[in-house]
A = this chain, B = another copy of it.
């Protein structure tokens, strides 16, 4: 099985056309639900006693929740607003609530996970948690500007401890202090990452391994309504696909990146989690085939 560790949130998302209040969100929610299309996925996260039953049911339907702690208090809340182009998001409010002093523990069954994804959590927490998995075959982490700005050395230490880092382009530049994405990736590989995956939003992604570069164009979409969770869905699909294949061959890693692109594209087509929730395996396969056909020349 795959273990995903990260945040589960109640999101308020303001887009030019629609505002969603207190919808189910969080990096680990998107990543785990995306991954669950491929493999049995366990979630390590915390929610408050206010966490709605209907959200709990959505998670329970798709994920193993032995790792989900329900704690007295309020669930982590995020409030953000997109500009009219949907490419710039402003954070209006972040309330950590029960997340503030959460000490994650790994359920016994999860400890056997060969594939582990650590979302954009505190890098020190990710670093500590990863050592609890003793059958690890492939671990991957994400990070965000907040940790790069406040705990850069911890982020670097975390990168050394995992196999792969998945990070967006602007954050890769900020972290490595380089402008060129190949230079960014090389620096992260020098720090110890075997695989570096740089997400470029609508422009797709770049995957680096040794001296291999795999550029993957984005899946072009005309109707993007809510970019929230696209990167998390990408990462979840990527590691979920690999876990389902029990493989980390270069060829499967490349395919995993394509599945990542495709799940990211489903995520942004609808509001909140809706793009992921009513997805059939056949929809995913159809879009991967369409993508292959699109980029062929």
Contacts and interface: CB of A to CB of B under 8 A. Distances in A.
A254 interface: yes
B215 A217 contact: yes
A258 interface: yes
Nearest to A180: B222
Interface of A: 84-87, 179-183, 186, 200, 202-204, 206, 213-224, 251, 254-255, 257-258, 294-295, 297
A216 to B, nearest CB: 6
A204 B181 contact: no
A257 B200 CA distance: 21
Contacts of A213: 220, 294
A214 B203 CA distance: 13
A269 B152 CA distance: 32
Could you say how many copies of this chain the assembly holds? 2
B251 A179 contact: no
A222 B183 contact: yes
B215 A294 contact: yes
Given A181-B202, A182-B221, 9 more contacts: A180-B223, A183-B222, A203-B204, A213-B220, A213-B294, A215-B217, A215-B295, A257-B297, A258-B297
A168 B31 CA distance: 33
Nearest to A221: B182
A43 to B, nearest CB: 29
Nearest to A202: B181
A251 B297 CA distance: 6
Given A215-B295, A258-B297, A294-B213, A206 B181 contact: no
Contacts of A297: 214, 216, 251, 254-255, 257-258
A214 B149 CA distance: 38
A152 B30 CA distance: 43
A215 B261 CA distance: 13
Contacts of A251: 297
A55 to B, nearest CB: 31
